[in-house]
Amino acid sequence: MAYNWNWEIFLQPSATGEGTYLSWLLEGLKWTVTLSLSAWVIALIIGSIIGVLRTVPNRWLGLLAATYVEVFRNIPLLVQLFIWYFVLPELLPRGMGDAFKQMNPLAQQFVSALVCLGFFTAARVAEQVRSGINSLPRGQKNAGLAMGFTLPQVYRHVLLPMAYRIIVPPLTSEFLNIFKNSAVATTIGLIELSRQAQQLVDFTAQPYEAFIAVTLLYLLINVALMFLMRQVEQKVRVPGFIGGK
């Protein structure tokens, strides 16, 4: 196979005149990281609420939360993204739909991908929060109630602080997943890493360099996150609990 390797391609000025091809990669990295981190914040907040609702002694709230989880787990991420991006603006009240469509394209893509990834991952976070709370001995909740705490206080001061520490390992893998899942945003044109890989192929005709570089960046993200989360895991580990289950 006669393939002309040319790693210097990254230092050449890009065809559009905006910086080098390396700067395209960094732009992609920036959007991948920004999108994933902000979606993770949404996922943690909504996932915590849904996870808690699945454990409270109220059938309707439990059913509501279970429905959320089933809906977001049983529809492909790509379909969800297209529904947020193409369908929702049509179904919103006219003013809001128009306002969305008048935003610049990048903002539209980012907002859709952000909400999509956040809500999708929230369903997974909710399952972990629920299993964390359920793994605690029942006596903890009863002791809290017997001390005169209200139910919200028991959650706030007794159950959740323990549950979060126990579920750090499974949350780590969801955290890694959100970065990988963010690549789906390429389908609506957001210029994150995998989009830039495709752009580089189109503009430079050096597909292998482009794909290898982007793959290495994903690996780098993965290694960095695992290192970071290992530190967190060691800090918050509860003595006597192996975690997870």
Partner 1 sequence: MTMHEYDWTSIPGAIPLLAKGMLVTLEVTLTAIAVGVVWGTLLAVARLGRNRVLSWLATVYVNLFRSVPLVMVILWFYLIVPQALKAIFGESIGDIRLTSALVAFALFEAAYYSEIIRAGIQSVAKGQMAAGLALGLTPGQTMRMIILPQAFRNMLPLLLTQAIILFQDTSLVYVIGLSDFFGTSYKVGDRDGRLVELLLFAGAVYFVICFSVSRVVKHLQARFSS
Yes or no: say if 79 and 218 are a contact pair by the CB < 8 Å rule: no
For 12-76, give the secondary structure using H, E and C: CECCCCCCEHHHHHHHHHHHHHHHHHHHHHHHHHHHHHHHHHCCCCCHHHHHHHHHHHHHHHCCC
Which one of residues 4, 16, 74, 231 is an interface residue with partner 1 (CB under 8 A)? 74
Indicate whether 18 belongs to the interface with partner 1 (CB under 8 A): no
Report, in Å, the least distance between residue 156 CB and partner 1: 32
Q: Collapsing DSSP states into helix, strand and coil, what is residue 245?
A: coil
Distance CA 113, CA 186 (A): 10
Q: Which one of the spans 40-48, 104-112, 193-201, 232-240 is the region binding partner 1 (CB under 8 A)? A: 193-201
Q: Which stretch binds partner 1 (CB under 8 A): 11-19, 90-98, 157-165, 235-243?
A: 90-98
Q: Tell me: does residue 49 bind partner 1 (CB under 8 A).
A: no
**Per CB under 8 A, 5 contacts partner 1:** no
The sign of the torsion formed by the CA atoms of 115, 35, 203, 219 equals negative
Q: What is the DSSP letter of 83?
A: I
Choose the binding region for partner 1 from 45-53, 58-66, 160-168, 183-191 (rule: CB under 8 A). Answer: 183-191
Is residue 164 a contact point for partner 1 (CB under 8 A)?
no
CB 17 within 8 A of CB 93: no
189 binding partner 1? (CB under 8 A): no
d(CA 230, CA 237): 10
* 215 sits near partner 1 (criterion: CB under 8 A): yes
User: Which among 9-17, 55-63, 160-168, 210-218 is the span making contact with partner 1, rule CB under 8 A?
Assistant: 210-218
Please give the residue ranges that form the binding site for partner 1 (CB under 8 A).
Answer: 1, 70-71, 73-80, 82-83, 86-87, 90-94, 97, 179-184, 186-187, 194, 197-198, 201, 207-208, 211, 214-215, 218-219, 222
